[in-house]
């Protein structure tokens, strides 16, 4: 964190177009972001500055909106690309389509853009939720990846997959699969490592 805004007793700096641009570029160097998420990050800075200096936050909001619009025009911020890449990443980690949709929506991505990203994800695998459930089960050693006492942990494994947003049928297919090879055949290839 920056020492000027995180220490008690220190006032944050007054925002300007230049300081907001530096903050935005610094944030985008470290994190991929949607336009709405970057706007939210920059507005927190604007509000803190307005409270500390007694300025009007709408002036800062206009600067933030102009900056985000300029970044979108230049291609630095592209919600469609962000959503597609984030959906692929979450899929590899074992997130269900339902959880992926929720995480993208929380970052401010429009519903239509989320639908396009999930459609693109569905084109990579015949059953993307089953493949993601297998990735999650492999990472957490559930179902056929469990070394011992599979039957005793069946309900617990089903619950873990349910908390990840997978439906009962998908969770049951993974947990009750006789072995990993059977799942790989059903998913249609080699699972992610």
Residue carrying structure tokens 């300007």: 16
Q: What is the mean pLDDT of residues 57-83?
A: 94
Lowest mean pLDDT of 38-47, 72-81, 118-127, 159-168, name the range.
118-127
User: Could you give the angle at the alpha carbon of 72 between the alpha carbons of 66 and 74, nearest 5°?
Assistant: 100
Q: Could you tell me the pTM of the whole model? A: 0.80
Mean pLDDT, range 67-81, rounded to an integer: 94
pLDDT at 28 > cutoff 80: yes
**9 pLDDT band (50/70/90 cuts)?**
low
Q: How far apart are CA 161 and CA 154, in angstroms?
A: 11
d(CA 25, CA 41): 12
pLDDT for res 178: 84
- More confidently predicted of 158 and 11: 158
164 has a pLDDT exceeding 60: yes
Question: What is the rounded CA–CA span in Å between residue 101 and residue 106?
Answer: 9
pLDDT, mean of residues 114-138 = 89
Place of tokens 């998908």: 170
pLDDT for 193: 46
Question: Looking at residues 117-128, what average pLDDT do you find?
Answer: 86
The owner of tokens 């970057």 is 38
- Please, which residues have CB within 8 angstroms of residue 100's CB and are 6 or more apart in sequence? 86, 87, 90, 91, 117, 118, 121
* Cα distance from N-terminal residue to C-terminal residue, the chain: 34
Return mean pLDDT, the chain.
88
Give the pLDDT confidence of 89-108 residue by residue, as tens digits: 999 889 999 999 999 999 99
Residues 6 or more apart in contact with residue 48 via CB below 8 angstroms: 5, 12
Cα 67 to Cα 60, 80, 82, 91, 119: the distances in Å are 11, 19, 18, 31, 30
In tens, the pLDDT along 79-89 reads 999 999 999 99
């Amino acid at each position: 964190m920056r020492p000027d805004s995180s220490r008690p007793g220190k006032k944050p700096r007054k925002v300007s177009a230049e300081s907001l641009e530096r903050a935005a570029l610094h944030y985008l160097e470290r994190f991929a972001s949607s336009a709405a998420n970057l706007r939210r990050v920059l507005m927190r800075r604007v509000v803190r500055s307005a409270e500390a200096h007694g300025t009007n936050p709408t002036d800062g909001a206009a600067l933030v909106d102009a900056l985000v619009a300029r970044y979108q025009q230049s291609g630095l911020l592209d919600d469609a690309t962000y959503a597609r890449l984030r959906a692929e990443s979450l899929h590899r980690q074992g997130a269900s389509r339902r959880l992926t949709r929720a995480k993208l929506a929380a970052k401010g991505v429009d519903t239509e853009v989320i639908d396009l990203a999930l459609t693109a994800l569905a084109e990579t695998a015949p059953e993307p939720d089953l493949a993601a459930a297998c990735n999650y089960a492999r990472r957490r050693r559930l179902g056929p990846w469990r070394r011992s006492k599979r039957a005793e942990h069946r309900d617990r494994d089903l619950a873990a997959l349910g908390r990840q947003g997978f439906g009962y049928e998908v969770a049951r297919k993974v947990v009750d699969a006789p072995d990993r090879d059977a799942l790989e055949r059903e998913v249609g290839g080699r699972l992610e490592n």
